[in-house]
Structure 1
Amino acid sequence: MNRWMKAGAAALALCMMAGLSGCGGEKQAASKAASAPAKKELKVACVATYPPFVYKDKEGKIVGFDVDITGAVAKELGAQVVYESMPFNEMVPALQASKADIAVAAVDMTQDRADKVDFSNIYYSKENVSILARKEDNEIRGPEDLKGKKVAVEKGTVYVETAKQYGAEVKEYDYHDQLIKAVEDNEADALILDKPVARFYLAHGASEKLKPAGIISGSGGFVMMVSKKDEGLREKVNEALDKLMKNGEYDKIYDKWFADENFSKEPDVKS
């Protein structure tokens, strides 16, 4: 992703949020944000197997782009972050049950999720989606070749429907490292992952058995899911994100995780 895509994230967020979240007027939002008490602890649900966004390094520490962004937001809120990793399809229920305040893991906005949780503004404009297949596979070269193939995807993500739309036999898994293993072990013919995630895995060992096998055009961007029960939290999160984008902190975090010269230097995944 280049700079103009990052700069356009906030503008894109406003358009998409209006359609999905049913936001109130600016005065109402400002009033909620002002009245919300400062949080001392921010409980964050995540999927810690989604590098470079959220994952555990070799020491077991949860790291990644989403982690650094969430940490920076929490700092603006004067809060400490407590992470809990869980399967993707358990994050929305965790927010609804007040077991988490925020959820991050390269989350797309969908209408089904909007009915249950709030969304922050977009903080990462989405790139193309990658298809990976085994190196010896010469049949899959693009999404049109997925018809009739076994395709591994993560449960609860938009890629379940994406794979179905291309006529694939969908195999769902809880975590992304399981997708990699499924294709390597011939349980699946291919997998679908966000491009930066696929790029990370290929740069950290997966390229020994897997290869890029086409792309699917992406759109929109990633957001934080926020509990609807925590009145004013979404507005505070959005204010913090806006400040990070204006003061240059966002660019520093982005370059740390996505600049070409830094990609291969990122911490490896815990084995």
Structure 2
Amino acid sequence: MKNYKKILLAAAASLILTGSALAAEKLRIGTEGAYPPFNLIDNDGNVVGFDLDIAHALCEKMQVECSVVTSDWDGIIPALNAKKFDFLIASMSITEERKMAVDFTNHYYSNGLQFIAPKKSDFKVDAAGLKGKVIGAQRATIAGEWLEDNHGRNVDIKLYDTNENAYLDLATGRLDAVLADKFVNWEWLESEAGKDFEFKGQPVFEDDLIGIAVRKGNDQLRERLNKALAEILADGTYQKINEKYFPFSIY
């Protein structure tokens, strides 16, 4: 009987320790913090936005405690691989080149590229209209790559560390147009700073899926994130987050 009691006590202790370990599991979210409305730093110094709301919803589904780490865009994949955070959610396009460095979850939204320019301009989205124009884009993005691949010889391309800096130069007349993700451009056009600007032409690239990155080979975390993503899509959590930022679906 004493031995039986010892076994029960040991089993109970093991369950308590296991439960404590699960409750104490912590993950670090990596993001940029300079890409509104998807990720930005608010006036109180908190990292907020669509990406972070999605990330925290996933953490809740996975029953883990999550904190946020920011990184400059240019070094964000190296920071993930240097284990400065556990997964990366920063509106990153899933590309074949990036797949060589990291693994991606299923997409959590779909995107496209579209030009914005002054309303009063006669900016045209064709080879003749773009020739000689000064176009801004964020460095190390598919927008910058698309410009270089398709109009590198005809366009004066200016690359910026953040989209916000590109918008500043557009607003002051240093750029003829900016090419960026259409939802980020939409957010800026809705602001006071963007009131004199508009979309020009149709999106030039729409086959853009946005995923969460994990280190190569971390299949366990990737699968957990995919499962949690499926759950927030199914139970309406994703839709509520979407509606908080956009009057249309971006999935």
Cross-structure match for 2:121: 137
Contact kept in structure 2, 1:95 and 1:102, CA below 8 Å: yes
Alignment partners' CA distance in 1, 2:45 and 2:196 = 25
Correspondence 1:155 to 2:139: yes
CA apart distance, 1:225: 1.0
Residues matched between the structures, number: 222
Correspondence 1:199 to 2:186: yes
Flag the 1:242–1:187 CA change in 2: closer, same or farther, 3 A. same
Which consecutive unaligned segments of at least 5 residues does structure 1 have? 1-36, 261-271
Alignment partners' CA distance in 1, 2:68 and 2:134 = 33
CA apart distance, 1:87: 2.3
Alignment partners' CA distance in 2, 1:120 and 1:238 = 6
Alignment partners' CA distance in 1, 2:68 and 2:231 = 23
Contact kept in structure 2, 1:88 and 1:157, CA below 8 Å: no
Correspondence 1:254 to 2:242: yes
Alignment partners' CA distance in 2, 1:154 and 1:84 = 21
Cross-structure match for 1:108: 93
Alignment partners' CA distance in 2, 1:46 and 1:147 = 35
- Which shifted more, 72-81 or 117-126? 72-81
Question: 1:223 is paired with a residue of what secondary structure?
Answer: strand
TM-score computed with the length of structure 1 as normaliser: 0.75
Question: 2:107 is paired with a residue of what secondary structure?
Answer: coil
Cross-structure match for 1:71: 56
Which consecutive unaligned segments of at least 5 residues does structure 2 have? 1-20
Question: 2:194 is paired with a residue of what secondary structure?
Answer: helix
Cross-structure match for 1:30: none
Q: Give the structure with the larger strand fraction.
A: 2
Alignment partners' CA distance in 2, 1:235 and 1:65 = 21
- Give 1:38-187 correspondences, 5 Å limit: 40-126=25-111, 128-138=112-122, 140-144=123-127, 145-164=129-148, 165-167=150-152, 168-187=155-174
TM-score computed with the length of structure 2 as normaliser: 0.81
Runs of at least 4 residues off by over 6 Å = none
Cross-structure match for 2:197: 210
Contact kept in structure 1, 2:29 and 2:86, CA below 8 Å: yes
Letter paired with 2:176:
D
Alignment partners' CA distance in 2, 1:148 and 1:59 = 42
Contact kept in structure 2, 1:143 and 1:166, CA below 8 Å: no
- Which shifted more, 147-156 or 115-124? 147-156
Flag the 1:141–1:59 CA change in 2: closer, same or farther, 3 A. farther
- Decide which structure has the larger Cα Rg and report it: 2
Deviation sequence 1:99-129 (CA, Å, 0-9, x none):
1211122111111110110101011122x42
CA apart distance, 1:136: 4.0
Percent identity, please.
29
Letter paired with 1:129:
L
Alignment partners' CA distance in 2, 1:60 and 1:231 = 33
